[in-house]
Amino acid sequence: MSTTTDKYAFGMIGLGVMGRSLLLNMADHGFAVAGHDKDQGKVDSLNQEGDKFAVKGFIDVNEFIQSLTTPRAIMMLVPAGKPVDSVIAELSPLLDKGDILIDGGNSHFTDTNRRVEELEAKGLHFFGMGVSGGEEGARKGPSMMPGGDKDAYNVMKPIFEAIAAKVDDAPCVTYIGPGASGHFVKMVHNGIEYGIMQLLAETYEIMKKGLKMDNAHIGEVFARWNDGRLQSFLLDITKDIFKFNAPGTDHLLLDDIKDEARAKGTGKWTSQSAMDLQAPIPTVDTAVAMRDLSKYKELRTKAAGIYSTADHQQIEGNKEELLTALEQAFYFTMIISYAQGMHMLSNASAEYKYDLKLDEIAKIWRGGCIIRSKFLENIYGAYGKDPKLAHLLLDGDVSDIVTSLLPGIRKVVAAAVNAGIAAPAYAASLSYFDAFRSERMPSNLTQAQRDYFGAHTYELIGKEGTFHTQWTAKQD
């Protein structure tokens, strides 16, 4: 039986792994909390795990609502989309003006915009909050990205700062900005996550197919990298995956897993939103596309029977030198993935009037979240020095690092192409960089073509105005 109390300071709707873990985290820090779920098993699990704390699970939503102190503070952790609207529709009549409702799931930011307006009209405080860190982060300290009603956030601030991950004693949570900014920033976080995961997958394939390395050696390399400048959560879990055997066997579970990746949609949303903002993020776009391509297993198998894979040749050269180049290449592409995401946030801040503090966002990503890494200290430093930095690659310290990595990324991309090994995110990252540093791109030809077939006009160097040419007219 949970420790009894008359009232609970915080309520959670949705007692899956994340919701239950967050409540128990709050209980660890001395807060009396309640949870509601329609699944009796999940309610029972909360009551069992929270046995020694002021924690209580409810199956009846009315009892749950009445158990909370006023003004009530309730977080929803349910699947994005219609489930969130259903919960809001059920809760709204039971709440009083001034109560606080928080969406802690991965809702699309446009849905959050709509809900902000709808609930504000009912006198309810509402904000969307991205939560990152998975089950372990939720239980031991996540990174949280709340945006929207600032007064409502300030009420919740003591709880969130208490349960957040800590880096240098600073909590990994901060007020992001107005409207749906919290969910927008979490979406971009997930896009960066897609990019880095794809880069790790390509790194694995280069080692396995190109360098003919066995699983043990690949795992050792990932572990060695994680002890150095590439240290990150995603690399840390990857080296663990290379040590986990399938139960009752002497081979890796990894080798038994289908090569068909799934997705919940946040990567796709990031790509779509980036195109709306005209913020190019080709590393993320490629990662989304590769997850989609992986699902066409039957087509890929047929193609493999038609097109010989004999050109999957071993990458020749000194293996340790090649691994040194690969470490440089991965560091380079990881930086590019972050740089693209931060540029997208910069554009969104201006377009949607979020007034994002990019240094604070980098600061709270240093702990608790899935994309935490040692390099985020560099990002935090760059935007701390210059809050108006237009692009991460323009920072002096970052540019020094990137320049030092160029030999490695060029060597790896060339070697992968010559060996017939797909490395699309590596190639996209390098091409993005080479285009970004081009003072003059070949886009003048694109403009000429657009004017030729569609009279879309063009601009001239050193002249004001727009121009159109009859390209088929006879010239003197």
Q: Could you state, in order of their start, the residue ranges of all structural domains in the chain?
A: 10-175, 186-437, 440-475
CB atoms within 10 A of CB 359: 17
Mean pLDDT of 358-379: 97
Reply yes or no on whether the pLDDT at 283 is more than 90.
Answer: yes
Reply yes or no on whether the pLDDT at 4 is more than 80.
Answer: no
pLDDT at 135 (0 to 100) = 85
pLDDT at 463 (0 to 100) = 96
Reply yes or no on whether the pLDDT at 236 is more than 90.
Answer: yes
- Is 110:135 a contact under the CB 8 Å cutoff? no
Q: In the CATH scheme, what is the code of domain 10-175?
A: 3.40.50.720
Reply yes or no on whether the pLDDT at 311 is more than 90.
Answer: no
Q: How confident is the model at residue 188 (pLDDT cuts 50, 70, 90)?
A: very high
Region of poorest pLDDT, from 133-142, 171-180, 226-235, 351-360: 133-142
CB atoms within 10 A of CB 417: 13
CB atoms within 10 A of CB 328: 19
Q: Which residues pair with 102 in a beta bridge?
A: 75, 127
pLDDT at 2 (0 to 100) = 46
- Is 128:183 a contact under the CB 8 Å cutoff? yes
Interatomic CA distance for residues 173 and 164, integer angstroms? 6
The b/e string for 286-323 (b: 16+ C-beta within 10 A; e otherwise) is bbbbbbeebeeeeeeeeeeeeeeeeeeeebeeeeeebb
pLDDT at 265 (0 to 100) = 81
Q: Which of 178, 78, 34 is nearest to 120 (CA)?
A: 178
Q: Would you name the residues annotated as active-site residues?
A: 186, 193
Which residue type does 174 have?
Answer: T
Binding residues: 106, 132-134, 189-190, 194, 264, 291, 450, 456
Interatomic CA distance for residues 448 and 443, integer angstroms? 9
Mean pLDDT of 300-324: 88
Q: How confident is the model at residue 5 (pLDDT cuts 50, 70, 90)?
A: low
User: What would the pLDDT profile of 417-456 be if each residue is shown by its tens digit?
Assistant: 999 999 999 999 999 999 999 999 999 999 999 999 999 9
pLDDT at 210 (0 to 100) = 94
Mean pLDDT of 394-407: 98
pLDDT at 222 (0 to 100) = 98
Q: How confident is the model at residue 145 (pLDDT cuts 50, 70, 90)?
A: very high
Domain spanning 186-437, CATH architecture: Orthogonal Bundle (1.10)
- CATH superfamily label, 440-475: 6-Phosphogluconate Dehydrogenase, domain 3 (1.20.5.320)
% of the chain surpassing 70 pLDDT: 98
Reply yes or no on whether the pLDDT at 264 is more than 70.
Answer: yes
pLDDT at 346 (0 to 100) = 97
Q: How confident is the model at residue 1 (pLDDT cuts 50, 70, 90)?
A: very low
Mean of the per-residue pLDDT values for the chain? 93
Binding residues for substrate: 106, 132-134, 189-190, 194, 264, 291, 450, 456
- Is 109:189 a contact under the CB 8 Å cutoff? no
Residue of higher predicted confidence among 366 and 2: 366
Tokens read off for 20: 């239950």
User: What would the pLDDT profile of 314-343 be if each residue is shown by its tens digit?
Assistant: 898 999 999 999 999 999 999 999 999 999
HSE-up (13 A, CA, CB side) for residue 76:
27
CA-to-CA dists, residue 238 to 200, 231, 234, 241, 350, angstroms: 8, 11, 6, 5, 36
Reply yes or no on whether the pLDDT at 296 is more than 80.
Answer: yes
